[in-house]
């Protein structure tokens, strides 16, 4: 079993990659997230690179945004091993955009991430 870490290789960084994701990626909605994904280069180190976004337009204070991002990262980190096993040898890039105007609890975020992961597996075939 692998460690439950969220390393630098699993984080999506780089303006050109992010721009390409939002211009050519496929989008879907699973409450409270909007997911944007695309298949990545097979040479990518991690099976899935993730961008987590909580917009300032919906959550004005940095405290609220940071709390939600911490909860999303933690839920992703704890459930990623099963997700990686279901992905198999596919490599993807994923953006998780938080869309709810309210701060939801950890359980709701965890359920939403589970729905996002199952939807991704279904769409990737």
- Written as six digits, the tokens of 32 are 């409270």
- Written as six digits, the tokens of 99 are 């869309």
Does domain 8-124 fall under CATH 3.30.230.10? My reply is: yes
Output the pTM of the full model.
Answer: 0.92
What residue spans define the domains of the chain? Answer: 8-124
* pLDDT of 83: 93
Euclidean distance between CA atoms 98 and 44, whole angstroms = 25
* pLDDT of 14: 93
Per-residue pLDDT of the chain (125 residues; tens, 9 = 90+): 567 899 999 999 999 999 999 999 999 999 999 999 999 998 999 999 999 999 999 999 999 999 999 999 999 999 999 999 999 899 999 999 999 999 999 999 999 999 999 999 999 98
* pLDDT of 1: 54
Question: Which stretch of DSSP H or E encloses residue 65?
Answer: helix 62-87
- Sequence-ordered list of residues with C-beta below 8 angstroms from that of 13, at least 6 positions apart, any chain: none
Are 72 and 34 spatial neighbours (Cβ–Cβ below 8 Å)? no
Phi-psi bin for 14: left (phi > 0), alpha (psi -120 to 50), beta?
Answer: left
């Amino acid at each position: 079993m692998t460690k439950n870490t969220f390393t630098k290789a699993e984080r999506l960084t780089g303006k050109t990659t992010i721009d390409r994701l939002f211009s050519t990626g496929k989008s879907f909605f699973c409450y409270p997230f909007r997911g944007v994904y695309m298949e990545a280069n097979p040479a990518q180190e991690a099976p899935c690179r993730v961008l987590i976004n909580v917009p300032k337009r919906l959550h004005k204070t940095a405290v609220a945004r940071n709390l939600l991002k911490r909860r999303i990262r933690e839920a992703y980190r704890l459930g990623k091993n099963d997700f990686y096993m279901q992905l198999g040898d596919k490599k993807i890039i994923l953006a998780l955009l938080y869309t709810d105007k309210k701060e939801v609890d950890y359980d709701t975020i965890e359920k939403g991430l589970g729905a996002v992961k199952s939807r991704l597996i279904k769409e990737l075939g």
